[in-house]
Structure 1
Amino acid sequence: MGIKAALSKPYANLVSARVNKWKNNAVALQDKWMHKLLSQAKQTAYGRDHHFSKIHSYEDFIKQVPIVDYEDLRPYIDRVVEGEKDVLWPGKPLYFAKTSGTTSGVKYIPISKESMPEHINAARNALLLYIAETGNADFVDGKMIFLQGSPEMEEKNGIKVGRLSGISAHHVPAYLQKNRMPSYETNCMDDWEQKVNAIVDETINENMSLISGIPPWVQMYFDRLAAKTGKKIKDIFPNFNLFIHGGVNFEPYRAKLEAVIGRKVDSIETYPASEGFIAFQDSQKEKGLLLNVDAGIFFEFIPTEEYFNENPTRLSLKDVELDKNYAIILNTNAGLWGYSIGDTVKFVSKEPYRIVVSGRIKHYISAFGEHVIGEEVEYALMKAAEEEGVDVVEFTVAPQVNDPDGGLPFHEWFVEFGEHQPENPDLFMEKVDKLLQEKNVYYFDLIDGKILQPLKIRMLKKGAFIDYMRSQGKLGGQNKVPRLSNDRKIADELVSLTILYKIN
């Protein structure tokens, strides 16, 4: 064991003790953060407009602070972008995290000097809690790769602007800098395919022990390594034993990643967003991600079935229930207030508060009143795939209102399979449909009432989704394919690009 690994163990135990203290005091800490955030921001333009100085309880908070999305908050954010101080949070932001939205175009999410450390601390805590629980610290002495966006930044009225992953790259602790790959020059490449090839060349002969990134792009990196060497990842990197992932549900990718690796490796799931580091996996034994309740965020939750109501129920942490889907709302020490990031979560534990990400509030199918969510389609497909020994690389689902064959409407699934494809495609399709009916009673009623016909699956050629993302200029980085759509924009692109044949 190297000196870094040896020193990391007592530090991990210290951090574990700190986290255990706050995770068991979550409700009180959340109340503290609500009052602290309000106090710090009461003299800002937003704080004055919404009477922060008169808020003394959560009930007051609900009355004064509306639920918003980026477009709602944009008049304030535009003022911040123009260089005005004390608008949403005291002073000016340290950075803008640049993201792309479907309706808002480019979005500028403020990151303050108070919020930036919380992003770094949460990522660090996830690693240290893993060490404290498992005793495995050997990865600290090896090389680590973070598949991320470019660390290059521009400036807007004196404030640095970049992708969150690129901003975070500037805050990697000094003691990890020598372990970190790829090189700065390679990380700055814009073309994702060139970048992956360069990363392969830089890392192929290194002692890689930790690999981090969004699963589909890590898969591409692994596939390129395997193609170049003819070996499994375990034979290229014998000391690779920890995979850190986030951004999408890992389960649809797990089987294919483990196949190309050649063995199972430990993994840590994180839930970072430009708006704040929301949760992270704190245990290899327990389900779910630990809600980051002592990190400059006051959380609220709206039952998903009420989200689009004029006055939806708003809950603080103490009133949430297990196994219920909620839209997650953030109030942060970067100046976001009542801010909906569009994600849905479900609590799997309240002692401590752990969540799973169940989908996107706008990524669902309800073209016919069925309100099918991401969690349900992922369950149906992956359960059927497991039972049939099938590999799923990627998929997306869209409604087909006008059946080309003149039949009832249906859900059309676009699936890219791996090496193991369905032996009996019709049976596989039937199994997926039955599993989805079991998960969603509204979908069952529509099928049973002959309003919809059972789903249909289109099987896509290898690399179909990479081709699609390339055609959209969204290959790599933090980009991902939406699993569900209420329109056929993605579906029609896939039809024109990649269809091989349809399961009938």
Structure 2
Amino acid sequence: MFSLKSALAKPFAKHVSKSVQKWANNPIETQETVFQELISSATSTQFGKDHDFISINSHAEFIKRVPVRDYEDLKPYVERVVAGEEDILWKGKPIYFAKTSGTTSGAKYIPITKESMPTHIEAARNAILMYIAETGNSKFVDGKMIFLQGSPILEESHGIQLGRLSGIVAHFVPKYLQKNRMPSWETNCIDDWETKVNAIVEETLPENMTVISGIPSWVQMYFEKIQEKTGKKVGDVFKNFNLFIFGGVNYEPYRAKFESLIGRKVDSIELFPASEGFFAFQDKQNEKGMLLQLKSGIFYEFIKADEFFNENPKRITIKEVEIGVNYVLIISTNAGLWAYNVGDTVEFTSLKPYRIIVSGRIKHFISAFGEHVIGKEVEQALQEAVKGTNIQVTEFTVAPLINPEQDLPYHEWFIEFDNEPSNLEEFSNKIDASLQVQNSYYFDLIKGKVLQPLKITQIKKNGFQEYMKSIGKLGGQNKIARLSNDRKIADIFENQKLIK
């Protein structure tokens, strides 16, 4: 059956592909232009005045005047913007704040400006169009597309709207996709995740679903509910489903499970979006890595991860990066973030064009489900749980269990006790409650029944020492990783029978 929308998508995709290739093939010049535009646009802002932007015309001068900052360092400026002041980090006021989970002081408010918002939308659109240009597959544009995302209901403060990034983006779905887009607005506004997914299942089952998009852990829950309700593979329920779009976490741990749930392989597109900017998307099906977005109002700097905590680590641009080196990603953007440490680490898989993979976080973390749990949070949770008791912990580490034999996935805590609790379940509940208070993402996943509360597995006496010895890191300055995003340590515990 002839479809005008599908037919028009192909020439549009070719046009966009040529446009993307133009800047991708001129990377150094493209980034230099972005840099100069950012500096000149912010010269009259408070940040620009404080850092003498008017005298900056090179990266070397930028390094001298603008130190690398994380959110906590930038917070005094952000608080003034949140209070409604203008021309602080960027000209005027932001149009949105993307509200995210903070690491040390509650919620973070990441500004999104009228200049930066279109780059989020354009990159997501271009990812799909580049796929069409490469594969020639455009039939999916005639079917229904689902985007599993946060609630689009926004708050307002001092004339600036705030909410989760995915909820903000929901307001910008192009008109030509509105009829194809699912779930309905009403369903998308449901707060409780389990209720929301059940409603999405009911809405989508009768439809011709062709594209499904979301964080893998959430999509897996959706797939499992479809299978429970129908007794069929997802690929048999949605016969024309042939494109999965994902981001936020590593897909590889989920791939085998997904293919089992779907019943066949489907093409996928990986994205690297964040509240701070849309950094990269997969532009080729058979190439490793995602195309770094060099013309999206973002100027990139990189610091080698193994030098990051040195007193004065070297900051480089894309001109100097090498393939296979682990770099901390530093950004300056048209939303008013300057030499900002996002916290992510990346590796380049290609320099012509510049493609990256996300290699992790500069600090240990767990984000197998998008929860971004960090070391400080688990240490504080454990500290609160033992306070006022005679419980003594010798050592511990935490790993995700993505596919348990029964029930929902969870965080598995491997703990060696010197003096163990009389009630292990009560102890684990205390830790879990503290984590939920500290980390809003983790809270949402527990509340939404994407995760079940953590479980504790006891390690036998001296088990951690035996583990460190087995990997050649006993003693000295070597420390056990508090958090892992995989099961490597857990597997060693099990294989070496270190579990009590």
Identify the TM-score tier after normalising by the shorter chain.
0.7 to 0.9
Residue 214 (str. 1) matches residue 193 (str. 2)? no
Match of 2:330 in 1: 329
| TM-score (normalizing by structure 1) | 0.77
Q: 1:43 to 1:414 in 2, by over 3 A?
A: closer
Match of 2:144 in 1: 143
Residue 237 (str. 1) matches residue 223 (str. 2)? no
Match of 2:122 in 1: 121
Distance 2:18 2:89 in 1: 34
Deviations 1:10-40 (A, max 9, x none): 0000000001111011111111111110000
Q: 1:419 to 1:139 in 2, by over 3 A?
A: farther
Secondary structure, counterpart of 1:28 in structure 2: helix
Deviations 1:353-392 (A, max 9, x none): 0000000111269xxxxxxxx9xxx9xxxxxxxxxxxxx9
Report if aligned partners of 1:395, 1:416 keep a CA contact under 8 Å in 2. Answer: no
Match of 1:56 in 2: 57
Distance 1:164 1:263 in 2: 31
Distance 1:485 1:111 in 2: 38
Q: Offset of 1:411 from its aligned partner?
A: 5.7
Q: 1:159 to 1:55 in 2, by over 3 A?
A: same
Runs of 5+ unmatched residues, structure 1: 366-373, 379-391, 421-463
Deviations 1:291-347 (A, max 9, x none): 000110000001001112221110111011110000001100010001011000000
Report if aligned partners of 1:143, 1:209 keep a CA contact under 8 Å in 2. Answer: yes
Map 1:225-374; keep pairs closer than 5 Å. Answer: 225-363=226-364
Q: 1:480 to 1:56 in 2, by over 3 A?
A: farther
Distance 1:257 1:188 in 2: 26
Residue type at the aligned position of 2:75: R
> How many positions carry a matched residue from both structures?
421
Deviations 1:433-474 (A, max 9, x none): xxxxxxxxxxxxxxxxxxxxxxxxxxxxxxx9xx99989522
Distance 1:234 1:75 in 2: 51
Report if aligned partners of 2:282, 2:290 keep a CA contact under 8 Å in 1. Answer: yes
Distance 1:90 1:161 in 2: 19
Identity within the alignment, %: 59
Distance 1:193 1:26 in 2: 44
Distance 2:335 2:372 in 1: 35
Distance 1:480 1:305 in 2: 33
Match of 1:415 among 392, 401, 408: 401
Report if aligned partners of 1:147, 1:212 keep a CA contact under 8 Å in 2. Answer: yes
Deviations 1:103-139 (A, max 9, x none): 1311111000000000000000000000000000011
Q: 1:300 to 1:488 in 2, by over 3 A?
A: closer
Secondary structure, counterpart of 1:473 in structure 2: helix
Residue 79 (str. 1) matches residue 80 (str. 2)? yes
Match of 2:422 in 1: none
Match of 1:89 in 2: 90
Q: Offset of 1:285 from its aligned partner?
A: 1.6
Q: Offset of 1:233 from its aligned partner?
A: 0.2
Report if aligned partners of 2:346, 2:356 keep a CA contact under 8 Å in 1. Answer: yes
| TM-score (normalizing by structure 2) | 0.78
Q: 1:139 to 1:96 in 2, by over 3 A?
A: same
Map 1:157-196; keep pairs closer than 5 Å. Answer: 157-196=158-197
Q: Offset of 1:162 from its aligned partner?
A: 1.1
Report if aligned partners of 1:327, 1:340 keep a CA contact under 8 Å in 2. Answer: yes
Residue type at the aligned position of 2:42: A
Distance 1:69 1:395 in 2: 16
Report if aligned partners of 2:152, 2:171 keep a CA contact under 8 Å in 1. Answer: yes
Report if aligned partners of 2:365, 2:483 keep a CA contact under 8 Å in 1. Answer: no
Distance 2:298 2:372 in 1: 33
Q: 1:414 to 1:152 in 2, by over 3 A?
A: closer
Secondary structure, counterpart of 1:269 in structure 2: strand
Distance 1:397 1:81 in 2: 25
Q: 1:19 to 1:490 in 2, by over 3 A?
A: closer
Residue type at the aligned position of 1:286: E
Report if aligned partners of 1:84, 1:92 keep a CA contact under 8 Å in 2. Answer: yes
Q: 1:408 to 1:233 in 2, by over 3 A?
A: same
Secondary structure, counterpart of 2:337 in structure 1: coil
Deviations 1:158-208 (A, max 9, x none): 111111101101000000000000011110111001000010111111100
Q: 1:145 to 1:308 in 2, by over 3 A?
A: same
Deviations 1:220-278 (A, max 9, x none): 00000100110000111000000000000111111101110000000000000000000
Q: 1:110 to 1:172 in 2, by over 3 A?
A: same
Distance 2:306 2:484 in 1: 25
Match of 1:152 in 2: 153
Q: 1:244 to 1:41 in 2, by over 3 A?
A: same
Report if aligned partners of 1:396, 1:413 keep a CA contact under 8 Å in 2. Answer: no
Q: 1:411 to 1:487 in 2, by over 3 A?
A: closer
Distance 2:451 2:277 in 1: 19
Report if aligned partners of 1:397, 1:413 keep a CA contact under 8 Å in 2. Answer: no
Match of 1:38 in 2: 39
Q: Is 176-185 or 100-109 further displaced after alignment?
A: 100-109
Report if aligned partners of 2:103, 2:374 keep a CA contact under 8 Å in 1. Answer: no
Distance 1:199 1:470 in 2: 26
Q: 1:171 to 1:265 in 2, by over 3 A?
A: same
Distance 2:239 2:329 in 1: 40
Map 1:443-454; keep pairs closer than 5 Å. Answer: none
Match of 1:432 in 2: none
Secondary structure, counterpart of 2:268 in structure 1: strand
Q: 1:329 to 1:489 in 2, by over 3 A?
A: closer
Q: 1:153 to 1:485 in 2, by over 3 A?
A: farther
Secondary structure, counterpart of 1:101 in structure 2: coil
Residue type at the aligned position of 1:89: W
Residue 474 (str. 1) matches residue 444 (str. 2)? yes
RMSD: 3.5
Residue type at the aligned position of 1:153: L
Q: 1:364 to 1:30 in 2, by over 3 A?
A: same
Distance 1:141 1:44 in 2: 46
